[in-house]
Amino acid sequence: MTADETAVPLAAALDADRFGAKAANLARALRAGLPVPDGMALAPNAVRAVVDGGGLTDLTTHFSRWRALLAVRSSAIGEDGPTASFAGQHVTRLGVRATEGALRAAIRAVAASVDSPHANAYRQAVASGRADTTGMATPIAVLVQPLIQADVAGVMFTRDPITGSDELVVEGAFGLGDSVVGGKVTPELCRMSRYGTVRQRRPGRQSVAVVASAAGGTLERPLEPGRASRGCLDECLLAALAQLAQQCRDVFGDGGLDIEWSWAVGHIGLLQARPITTLHANPRPVRAPGPA
């Protein structure tokens, strides 16, 4: 891959106009010491080179050093902004093997999803409420990261996304976050003060967990009945989430954040941080099947 076909370490992907806001936000968080998985960002020209059949050999060698299955995510220009999140509109591929064929297929799928019917419908709905549609172009950058084999994963809002009240709203489920953002389960819900005091709990309903397959991709694994009934949002995890929320506010401000997180072997991970669009503009973000 030449210098013109840019792929950079995630920490260097600070330019949202070049790598998309998703990558830029994670780059800021990573540089600030937040628990973001390592990764690389491919600018739109690098994505095009891969889609066209080139520019992947050196990257495959790099990704294989992580000795893990991979997560391949979109970072479209105009995605994850204050008035348009595109949450769930673009394809994510989880459990991708670090081989040229698997990576190329995953990157092609993510790139193609920028022009899917529901992504275009969302883009048109956003543009219809704006006199200026600058920033709603469709170049797509791609993030490649080692997949965190989450015991529990979910989303957290640092303000109530409907009322804007100053509290943490957490949803979680066993396994990868695909089951939460994709609507495959009813997640467990917890409302807390910004300092982590629990105010309300609602049990979830979950019979299967989405997990990575050693052969690549994901599969649904049945949960033991006793495990499902115990719930996934324990005190240790909630304390870690309250701390993560404060770390994110320190980096991104207190305007309200939509955070995707993972919990693996007692360690919290930050997978995404973006503004809560419902506090800024319509339409409300729609989480289509599959994480963004």
- Final residue of a structural domain among 99, 124, 146: 146
Residue 118 and residue 159 in one domain: no
Which CATH number characterizes residue 259's domain?
A: 3.30.470.20
Give the model confidence (pLDDT) of 4-62 as tens digits: 468 999 999 999 999 999 999 999 999 999 999 999 999 999 999 999 998 788 888 88
Do the domain assignments include residue 235? yes
Predicted model pTM: 0.85
Do the domain assignments include residue 219? yes
- Percentage of the chain lying above the pLDDT 90 cut: 68
Count structural domains, the chain.
2
Confidence (pLDDT) at 82: 53
- Name the residue with higher pLDDT: 101 or 280: 101
Do the domain assignments include residue 284? no
Residue 130 and residue 209 in one domain: no
Do the domain assignments include residue 185? yes
Do the domain assignments include residue 286? no
Read off the pLDDT of each residue in 275-281 and give the average, rounded to a whole number: 75
- Name the residue with higher pLDDT: 279 or 32: 32
Residue 73 and residue 55 in one domain: yes
Residue 132 and residue 243 in one domain: no
- Final residue of a structural domain among 109, 124, 146: 146
For residue 158, the enclosing domain spans: 152-279
Do the domain assignments include residue 140? yes
Read off the pLDDT of each residue in 98-105 and give the average, rounded to a whole number: 94
Residue 17 and residue 73 in one domain: yes
Residue 18 and residue 138 in one domain: yes
Residue 135 and residue 178 in one domain: no
- Final residue of a structural domain among 102, 131, 146: 146
User: For residue 286, is pLDDT > 80?
Assistant: no
Do the domain assignments include residue 290? no
Which CATH number characterizes residue 91's domain?
A: 3.30.1490.20
CB atoms within 10 A of CB 289: 12
Residue 99 and residue 230 in one domain: no
Residue 129 and residue 209 in one domain: no
Do the domain assignments include residue 289? no
Residue 11 and residue 55 in one domain: yes
Residue 123 and residue 180 in one domain: no
Residue 190 and residue 94 in one domain: no
